[in-house]
Copies of this chain bind each other. A is one copy, B any other.
Amino acid sequence: MPIIECVPNVSEGRRLEIIARFVDAIRAVAGVRLLDYSSDASHNRSVLTLAGEPAPLKAAILALFEQAVATIDLRTHKGEHPRMGAVDVVPFVPVEGVTMADCVSLAKETAAEVATRFGVPVFLYEDASTNPARKNLEDIRRGEFEGLAAKMAKPEWKPDFGGDTPHVSAGAAVIGARMPLIAYNINLATDRLDVAKKIASGIRHSSGGFRFVKAMGITLEDRKVVQVSMNLTNYEKTPLYRVFDVVKREAARYGVNVLESEIVGLVPAAALVATAKYFLQLEGFKHDQVLETRLRQSK
């Protein structure tokens, strides 16, 4: 039984009766599980986490588009978070028994149907992108809904599916496939923000660090300590343990200890198993030696 995770971001975080409609539309699809959802009023945005096999997942995303296009009008939408569509971003994430290529196929099929059924143009992103200049979400979304019509008038911003103009109220959507993202923070036993910033700068891709790390240094005001706050965008290629070890070593350079680390939200078991393997120097360990994995496989 292949399992794909899907984490649609929707541009509505205030009207709870509307968010309830989205949740109900997804839950009505047999074979899809809604693992989590959260709404942020200041962002005016909701993030939903779904899981299931490809066909029901596609049906659930189409049901979500149907509700969102009918109820969200970006011409009057305000919020702190950048957005350009009613359903703003839809990543498909491989979890078990599926490849990234399967997720890319699902993203393209879903995108084609979104454009046809709802008249919402779709840009493909991350692993589903067919254009290196249109891989990063931030690049695609730059200018937001307000700048979208002008942007799409340029030949290099013709969408992957649908017409060359935004949907009048629902804008455009970004649909794609990516690895699971791990929100990982390391707290340092100091209030020296410069140390957290220097370490963040050293480990993040944008300033010369690991390929799949985004990082910044911040202060946790209530605790009077600093944090290296990170997103790990490919835990297979840039693993948790390597990031932890390097942060710990860099901190020691400034006479600072690691206080603790934290994972925010969900993490694939494989990321933790790889961490245990590393520190225990485990050789020859196979993922199906994990009792729970064997249980799932033998169903």
Stretch of A78-86, A212-220, A254-262 on the interface side: A254-262
Instruction: Annotate A39-58 by CB proximity to B: 1 below 8 A, 0 otherwise.
Output: 00000000000010000000
A33-B299, A276-B272, A299-B33 are contacts. A281–B294 as well, Cβ < 8 Å?
Answer: no
> Nearest chain B CB to A282's CB is how many angstroms away?
5
A295's contact among B3, B244, B259, B294, by CB below 8 Å, is which?
Answer: B3
> Nearest chain B CB to A30's CB is how many angstroms away?
13
**Closest chain B residue, CB of each to CB of A286:** B263
Q: Across the interface, which residues of B come within 8 angstroms of A259, CB to CB?
A: 281
Q: Across the interface, which residues of B come within 8 angstroms of A281, CB to CB?
A: 258-261
Q: Does A174 contact B (CB under 8 A)?
A: no
Interface residues in A1-45 (C-beta closer than 8 Å to B): 3, 5, 33-36
Contact B280 A241 (CB under 8 A): yes
> Nearest chain B CB to A53's CB is how many angstroms away?
12
Number of copies: 2
Cα-based distance from A258 to B261 in the complex (angstroms): 26
Contact B262 A295 (CB under 8 A): no
Cα-based distance from A294 to B5 in the complex (angstroms): 12
Contact B262 A284 (CB under 8 A): yes
A280's contact among B275, B293, B294, B299, by CB below 8 Å, is which?
Answer: B275
Cα-based distance from A269 to B290 in the complex (angstroms): 6
> Nearest chain B CB to A266's CB is how many angstroms away?
5
Q: Across the interface, which residues of B come within 8 angstroms of A34, CB to CB?
A: 298
Contact A266 B241 (CB under 8 A): no
Q: Across the interface, which residues of B come within 8 angstroms of A240, CB to CB?
A: 276, 280
Q: Does A208 contact B (CB under 8 A)?
A: no
Cα-based distance from A260 to B277 in the complex (angstroms): 10
Cα-based distance from A295 to B33 in the complex (angstroms): 8
Q: Does A155 contact B (CB under 8 A)?
A: no
Q: Across the interface, which residues of B come within 8 angstroms of A244, CB to CB?
A: 279-280
Cα-based distance from A240 to B293 in the complex (angstroms): 19
**Closest chain B residue, CB of each to CB of A244:** B280
Cα-based distance from A77 to B261 in the complex (angstroms): 56
Q: Does A292 contact B (CB under 8 A)?
A: yes
In addition to A267-B290, A292-B293, 5 A-B residue pairs with Cβ atoms within 8 Å of each other are A33-B298, A51-B295, A259-B281, A263-B285, A273-B276
- Spell out A's residues near B (CB within 8 Å): 3, 5, 33-36, 51, 95-96, 180, 187, 240-241, 244, 258-263, 265-269, 272-273, 275-276, 279-285, 289-296, 298-299
Can you give 24 contacting A-B residue pairs, CB < 8 Å?
A5-B291, A33-B295, A180-B291, A241-B280, A244-B279, A244-B280, A259-B281, A261-B283, A262-B282, A262-B283, A262-B285, A263-B282, A266-B291, A267-B289, A267-B290, A267-B291, A268-B290, A269-B269, A269-B290, A269-B293, A272-B272, A272-B290, A276-B279, A292-B293
